[in-house]
Structure 1
Amino acid sequence: MSGTLDHVMIRVEDLEESLDWYTTHLGYEEKGRWEADTFTNVYLGPEDLHEEGAVLELTYNHGDNTYELGDAWGHIAVRVPEDELESSYQQLMDEGVEDYRDPESCGGRYAFVKDPDGHEVEIVKRDHGAKWSLDHTMIRVEDADEALGFWTRKFGYEHTGRWESDTFANYFMKPEGAAEEAMAVELTYNYDGRSYEMGDAWGHLAVSADDLHDYWETLMEREAADYRDPESCDDMFAFTKDPDGHEIEVIPADFESPE
């Protein structure tokens, strides 16, 4: 479906260590790979990934690189069945994953671990989707109204859930008609007016388009930021940014990584 989130990209310092972590602990398998002169991209997901499900892109820049996490990006979230949160977390602990935020400390509703580079991985209970499949990616925004308007007007997304507390609000967004198994973007707005550092350990969200150029033209008509247009990317993909500076890639639905 055009407009669904295709993947979320994170940068890793040791590709083999990261691949081992995600394949061993989450049971991910390699869905694709792009080997370039200066970087390697590997796309991962569960074996029984839904056709509208998103994958995780690990980007490894060749050489000795280190990255800053910042705080403008929050976490990725993976699904487990409703009655398997505690057992799934315990499985990770038994496998040697570091204990970060266990289910008890989160009221039995969710839990958190970290990957080798410090990216936070939330574990959420869901009655749909393959185990460990990507449920959402959380980003922090400085103006909730502006961020909600961006995703609804530019991309045609709609609310699929919201949670408002005394100090913050979470808004979950997907394109209208997207499958339950599609990944959502979670917009987190803290009421205290804080600002955020982008860092460079997180890369981008990617939106799938049936036709790259038509989709890009629509974004430009809706006054999205012209960050990297298709022509500047060899007509393979394009990039815009949200009001807070998070990068959003537009990628053809039939995209195949160059050999």
Structure 2
Amino acid sequence: MRILHTMLRVGNLERSIQFYTEVLGMELLRQKDYPGGKFTLAFLGYGPESTHPALELTYNWDRDSYDLGDAYGHIALGVDDIYATCDAIKAAGGKVVREPGPMKHGTTVIAFVEDPDGYKVELIELGTQGS
């Protein structure tokens, strides 16, 4: 078994696709409207779905916002240079809500970014995790 995708409900599909592609560098893999159900699905990722997990954005045509709830945590992305990545995210209009640095009670270097709907995305500097 392997993880195929994680789904997030979004209030504005175009805004969310722009964030994940232009700010976080994902590729739009596929997108399809379901008129009978009044929703659209968009799948994004860093490689083909046959070998890489994807992020599924679900846009319900009659909703423009959601309560995030307190059980959801975050999506985590590995990056080579967290400081340069955060600078690039800010330059692209992204919102860094926790600046890069070691995690509390450890040495793993992390940062957090927030997407347009308020979902958190953790950045982890590769090679520092596990400590």
How many Å apart are 1:193 and its aligned residue? 2.5
CA distance in 1, matches of 2:60, 2:80: 35
The percent identity for this pair of structures is 30
CA distance in 2, matches of 1:219, 1:181: 26
- Give the AA of the match of 2:19: F
Q: Secondary structure at the match of 1:172?
A: strand
> What's the counterpart of residue 239 of structure 1?
112
Q: Alignment RMSD, CA only?
A: 1.7
> What's the counterpart of residue 32 of structure 2?
163
218-227 vs 234-243, which deviates more? 234-243
> What's the counterpart of residue 123 of structure 2?
250
Q: Secondary structure at the match of 1:237?
A: strand
Q: 1:35-46 alignment to 2 at 5 Å?
A: none
CA distance in 2, matches of 1:143, 1:158: 18
> What's the counterpart of residue 187 of structure 1?
57
CA distance in 2, matches of 1:189, 1:160: 16
Query: Which stretches of structure 1, 4 residues or longer, exceed 3 Å deviation after superposition?
Result: 231-235
CA distance in 1, matches of 2:10, 2:129: 32
> What's the counterpart of residue 229 of structure 1?
99
Question: Radius of gyration: which is bigger?
Answer: 1
CA distance in 1, matches of 2:101, 2:79: 16
Distance of aligned partners of 1:204 and 1:223 in 2 relative to their CA distance in 1, 3 Å threshold: same
Query: Which residue of 155, 173, 176 maps to 2:44?
Result: 173
Q: Secondary structure at the match of 1:134?
A: coil
CA distance in 2, matches of 1:256, 1:226: 20
Alpha carbons 2:109, 2:129 under 8 Å: kept: no
CA distance in 2, matches of 1:210, 1:241: 19
Runs of at least 5 residues in structure 1 that lack an aligned partner in the other structure: 1-130
How many Å apart are 1:220 and its aligned residue? 1.4
Alpha carbons 2:11, 2:65 under 8 Å: kept: yes
Runs of at least 5 residues in structure 2 that lack an aligned partner in the other structure: none
- Give the AA of the match of 1:170: L
Say how many residue pairs are matched.
Answer: 125
How many Å apart are 1:194 and its aligned residue? 4.4
Alpha carbons 2:10, 2:64 under 8 Å: kept: no
Q: Residues 47-86 of structure 1: CA distance to partner in whole angstroms, max 9, x if unpaired?
A: xxxxxxxxxxxxxxxxxxxxxxxxxxxxxxxxxxxxxxxx
- Give the AA of the match of 1:210: D
CA distance in 2, matches of 1:194, 1:173: 20
CA distance in 1, matches of 2:20, 2:125: 19
How many Å apart are 1:204 and its aligned residue? 0.2
Q: Secondary structure at the match of 2:73?
A: strand
Alignment of 1:205 with 2:78, yes or no, is no
- Give the AA of the match of 2:116: P
